[in-house]
Amino acid sequence: MTENISANIDLFLSTIESRGRSKNTVTNYRVDLEQFREYLLRQDIPDVSEIDAQSVRVYLSNIIGYGIAKTSAARKLSAVRGFIKWLSSREILDYGVAAGLKGPKLPSSLPRALSCEDTEKLLVEGPEHGKHYQRDRLVLELLYGSGLRVSELIDLNWEDIETDQRIIRVIGKGSKERLVPFGKGVKKLLEDWRPIPPEGKRGPLFKSEKGAERLTVRTVHRLVQKAAMRIGIYGVSPHTLRHCFATHLLERGAPLRVVQELLGHESIAATQRYLSITAEQMKRSYLEYHPRAHEQ
């Protein structure tokens, strides 16, 4: 009955993909659910109709017991919970099977944001002067200047960009579209980057040189990390620049709702965490610079 589990996993993944879940999410869920399938078979559960709440709880306990990071365990449980709810909607399982299933408590960590000075230095001095200088400058500027996710960046096409209006049409999570502005500096970089002649130019903004149609996520991560390391900053990722985008806007008084729209957050709660970042940075700045901060 292995085919029964595998077939249902395939159908579930096809369903969520058709509903707009990203390719990365579907890929991760496939890995997680294949692991869950192997666990079920080891527990002599050959059919999805035999899954119960206890088997899922034991599975989660086993995952945490093996030392897997809590964030990974939470993602795996999310995949399993989604799968079970889908089975319930098809009346293969009872709706109560997924009830009360809780993942591990995740540590509350604030996203890291660079200072404006360090960010400026990264954008200007980070890219290596060589074959990919123009590309790397443009990648860094778009990640920070427009707050793009790395997946949104590599999916950009020339036809998504209104250079004169300085607007990008971004397809974000769940295939939701939003319009994001960019600065005059990015406009100049785009004009320099656009192949000649530009008339009728279509297709990927950033093409790969190694056979793939587009730049890969790994390539973007690598170029961002190398640029940061050149100016002596470590632990920087493409998402760091997105954090900087949001944090710096809020520090300068941008309305939370506007930042939410620019980031493409479905819930304003996802944007509100940046308020905690700015408050923390304000506290650090106060303690460091105010002459009365440490008076008894």
Residue tagged active-site, from 265, 273, 290, 292: 265
**Range(s) within the chain of domains with CATH label 1.10.443.10:** 116-289
Residues 146, 155: Cα–Cα separation, whole Å: 14
Active site residue 290: no
Active site residue 242: yes
Active site residue 202: no
Active site residue 239: yes
Q: Starting at the edge strand that comes first in sequence, how are the strands of the sheet with 167-171 ordered?
A: 161-162, 167-171, 177-181
Provide the CATH number for the domain formed by 116-289 in this structure. Answer: 1.10.443.10
**Range(s) within the chain of domains with CATH label 1.10.150.130:** 2-98
**Class in CATH terms, 2-98:** mainly alpha
Residues 211, 21: Cα–Cα separation, whole Å: 26
Residue tagged active-site, from 137, 242, 243, 248: 242
Residue tagged active-site, from 173, 178, 221, 230: 173
Burial category of 202 from C-beta neighbours within 10 Å (exposed 0-12, middle 13-18, buried 19 and up): exposed
Tell me the pLDDT tens digit for each residue of 24-60: 788 888 988 998 898 888 888 888 888 887 887 788 7
Tell me the pLDDT tens digit for each residue of 216-256: 888 999 999 999 999 998 888 899 999 999 989 988 888 88
Active site residue 265: yes
Amino acid at 47: D
Active site residue 85: no
- Rounded to two decimals, what is the model's pTM? 0.62
Helix, strand, coil percentages (3-state) for the chain, rounded to 5, are 60, 5, 35
Residue tagged active-site, from 37, 149, 243, 248: 149
